[in-house]
Amino acid sequence: MQDDPHSGMAGSPPRIGMPLPNFRARTTMGMKSLTDYRGGWLILFSHPSDFTPVCTSEFVAIARAADRFAALDCALMALSVDSLYSHFAWIRMIHERFGAKIAFPIIEDPTLEIARAYAMVPPDARDASTVRYSYFIDPRGILRASTCYPVEIGRSVEEMLRMVTALQHADRRGLLAPAEWHPGQPMLRPPSQEIDTVFDAEQASDWFYAPVGDDAA
């Protein structure tokens, strides 16, 4: 892995709102760098190892939703400590057993170099047993959100899609996505920072809680 000299994050845990360090690594679709994905959204997600039940279920679900991620201009890239050849064998098994084609790259990270740099495992980890992170990265290479699941529980693909959609809507409209938000539902205006607005509001809560219809400016 090669650190991006402009990231300012070498050796530091990734933080929301900060650029992620670059890397160049071997994947099931050739050599890939994080910077290859600039200009579009990317979800970089990790899993403990190939040929495990929860990870297999996740990859099947994500592969079946590939068109929905593509419609959001959101690429996918996975990370695992297993070797490239293990990845190949696993994705062939997934295709034969479930009819799901893994059309996104899977990074091999046998030394945990990338996983450690991205704080997906502790610095002194000997294996990837705790790795199940998802990083939501915007077109500028900025980390916008992250999730961490335990090894026993698989990720929600619907929540991954909702996260990207909500971030895109929030960016485009300068609004906030409330709990359980989905496209077509009202969003919220950012709270006013003007005292006059606080007292001029019809309701006492209107200055900080103001729903806006999905088709409103």
Instruction: Give the DSSP letter string of 135-153.
Output: EEE-TTSBEEEEEE--TTS
- Max alpha carbon distance in the chain (Å)? 65
Beta partners for residue 164, in sequence order: none
φ and ψ at residue 12, rounded to 5 degrees? -110, 145
From 34, 42, 44, 55, the catalytic residue = 55
Report d(CA 80, CA 83) in Å as an integer.
8
55 is catalytic: yes
Query: Of the candidates 146, 177, 136, 175, which has an alpha carbon nearest to the alpha carbon of residue 41?
Result: 136
Scanning the structure block, which residue is given the tokens 């997934």? 94
Residue 210 is classified by DSSP as -
Strands 133-137 and 143-148: antiparallel
| 3-class secondary-structure state, position 198 | helix
What positions carry a catalytic annotation?
Answer: 55
